[in-house]
Structure 1
């Protein structure tokens, strides 16, 4: 409770400082009143949802929009504060110069044009948040990549995979927009659809109203899926093993209702003209100690040949090449942690391509491919956070997510439908 009170106090200190811009640009009493009413309502709404959050309840749309309104209103104010703070430094410097140089020139106070510039710059994040909340979260992007493998079976030369990830059905709102995204997946006419986890926010029931939308997904060779960290019920039921297990069973039933073949540390063989590739799927496994670690590469690769071509679905990209995981005694005795394997890079059987999600690209960042710009704050937590990576002749692709979580929008990092074409040979050939 104390940390929330401190946060709210800091917000209002920031708010008062930003208010100086408004005072500089207008003397209207009613604008002052509206400014403070809006600020108080946004903070009060945020406080209401988060002080009254009950463990065991789902993260609601109300919680999401409480976050969205807070960010939309206060991030631009941070910009105002930065400008005002910079000018205050100039004012202090000017005052000290006058004091010690006996200069009698009078400093005329805060310059109006600085406030106007500050307000103009602050309008940029404000507009970005408004767009991200209203349109950006449905701005589906089809990203296509071609990956070459010298040992790809000849029959599968040109084989197309569509990957989607992180539906987070508990956050979704517009059936029309989501149906558009599903149709966009189908328009890719891929051979197989692979879904890499987090079909719900916390509870299986969140997906019920969306089953008639997502069961329209289709692919010639089927639809395969895995679970993500949100699919076990931990965010609703905490450490209640019975409720978590019940929720997982219900989530598994949801996958079946959609037509997904859910792989729980399993594999499936796709055969064509006497040749085959393997689709592997592990349960959630990542470097973080805060999420369940049930994935087992050993189980998922049972009964597959040493020279087989393998495509793996693993929700968390840190599974690919983590270097260290600290386990205490409690962790080791935890039934949710499997420690029977190395990372994907060093695993004994060759895994050609790993597909992951999980990061969402933090739903915030900037990507300008033509300029080589790709940045999101999430990179400091997950170095491999979006797009294609290669290490030790193995590939990892991290999908930016189909849905959204917590913040009901996307800014600069758009919802993604990935289409990967497998080609036989080398890229330079």
Structure 2
């Protein structure tokens, strides 16, 4: 959420930053709401002071036996009391209107984020690995002979509808092994703290990280008012919701493996084949909570953590910086990692790593006390996939596929598969 004081100080800069996202000027509208709210607050304070003075004079008039003055003052007190209540209600309504409006406005991009309208304007910053040259025509993950016995879309559709899958046998074990491998790498090599957290959260937690109010249709709400998380970014980031922490405790680097749920509203017809885009999936999510000076360096570090997973799994990838028109709602800058999928003959997103500045912290009211003293400041937050487990499974299967329908598996996974190095054409590990 944006700081209304910063908008007051530099409305032109605020409008210019949002114009890079294709948003028309908003400062006039916001400042008009803010001015009306502040005016009501000032009027309420004046009326309260007049009520207090009149209340003191009521007792004096009664003591003097001045009945007429007593009645006049008592009526004035009642009038001012009603005025205060009305003005406070109006100020509260205006405050909610302003807050709701600010909640709907995306974050401002960093100055060095490339301008652009959509994904065509994203900028590649590096590549790792060389896509394998096959001596046969590679197929998509769900078409590989050894994968078909363990990837059951028909039964999942019978149980839950479209965009679900049941994994069985060797495929299910590879999926589980990938999540365990990612966690161990992030914990042992990257210094992240493993966390297990709920997948049902209160609505204020979804507001805190920006999924609400604007993107409610993308997630699932239960009948009793809970929300299923679209990513454990929601739970991990909100661990500091409403808190004042010590700067010395930062950065907090967390990682969690969780089920995630997305309605995929607006994505009808996209990636319907296979398990690339599902309503229920798993991710290993990284979150960092840090101070104002460390955010961009932490973003580079988190990107490197995600890249290290792909390198350990021997998966070719590229890292791109998203342009202003393709960047997510809460981000100031985002790096996407795209893994090579030979079955589609293209790179596809497997991780997004975003630096949000204090945007989420203002929504959560999460602050830290500077070591040097002074007023508390808002924390800065970052989040990134490390990685999406299902998409990592797709990449491992497609890049390791063999002409006979078996799959050669990365050596880093073998300790998690009982030493197995291959998914056979029959769908079992060997």
Shorter-chain TM band: under 0.3
Which TM-score applies when normalising by structure 1?
0.26
Which TM-score applies when normalising by structure 2?
0.26
Q: Which has the larger radius of gyration?
A: 2
